[in-house]
Amino acid sequence: MGYFRSVIDTILNKTLGRLFTGSEWNYDFQTYPAEFAQTGSLPYSSLIKGHFFRWHNRNHLWTGKEFWKTFEDGPWKWEAPERYAGRRFNCAHYFALTSDGAKAEANFYGVDTSKRVLLEIEAQFDPILNLTYELNLRAVTAQCISDPETILGPSFPFLYVLDTVVDVEQGGNAVTDMIGRWAFDNGYMGIMYFSARTIDEFRDMISSRQDFQAGVSVGQWVFNGLRDRMSTMNLAIFSGSALTGKIVAYRTPETEWLRNPYFGVTEEELDKALTYGREYQQQQYYTRLIVRRYPSIQGGVRWRRG
């Protein structure tokens, strides 16, 4: 029996894997859902270290001693409806893990790259809520909906939950709003998640909302395939001042690497320079969240902000 199972696995891996992704995938029912190795300081979190990319407005890219202005959390950030950073919920600054990922985001939003510059940063962040693993995604989403018992059931499809948070709607939806605020409230520095803009070849399978189709673990292929490609992942960092203190160096295609004079500076120390400092941020945090509406996952509806 083991021999025939091995043959079947090999055939599925080489044929369906290439059909869906152009490459072979690891295939083993026993590894779905995949186990998550926590490296961050909070549950479900990772320590993320490396280079990150975004198309940044040239008029808002400051260097040298004025670098602190680059990621300020002013009124425009609190009012912007963004993924995992709902309007009046919390702020976020977005990066892709690859330059191709950043380009895909810019293309979707119709960004005029002649007025922007590809900013690359070297940084380390902890704790980052890692939503690229099935069990993490399910556990956290359950904290942010009105009917958590529904998705915590053993037969509830992981792809159903994934389809919700990679909603094509610009800026996310009510569920991503609540997840972002939950992570912000619970001390996470940010979220790593699958982009809604770089997963087109997986979109049909995700939209099916079924982990198993014709006896095949489609859900496993989707999650493994997405994790295997760094271009599918984005990073949202909640606090501009915390972000500034974690950047070691930065560059654009027009410059060499520049050291960040504020690397290692705490938010408290940086607060002295900010136009919109700690007092302003606390005021927004406590007064601008008008009402929390916990969306329901029941019925398979697509949620929108209330």
- Non-local (6+) Cβ contacts of 274 within 8 A are 68, 72, 241
Please, what sign has the CA dihedral across residues 27, 234, 253, 267? negative
CB of 108 within 8 A of CB of 27? no
Short-list 149, 133, 175, 129, CA closest to 294: 175
> For the chain, which ranges sit under pLDDT 50?
1-30, 289-291, 299-306
What Å distances lie between residue 5 and 30, 139, 214, 220, 224, CA to CA?
13, 32, 16, 17, 20
CB distance 164 to 141 below 8 Å: yes
How far is Cα 119 from Cα 53, in angstroms, rounded to an integer? 6
Measured CA to CA, the distance from residue 128 to residue 131 in angstroms comes to 9
Residue 227, pLDDT score: 96
Cross-strand pairs, 90: none
pLDDT at 16: 46
The β-bridge partners of 289 are none
Contact residues for 197 (Cβ-Cβ < 8 A; gap 6+): 101, 104, 105, 107, 108
The answer to whether 72 touches 276, Cβ cutoff 8 Å, is yes
DSSP 8-state assignment for residue 166: T
pLDDT, tens digit, 9 for 90 and up, residues 239-278: 999 999 999 999 999 999 999 999 999 999 999 889 999 8
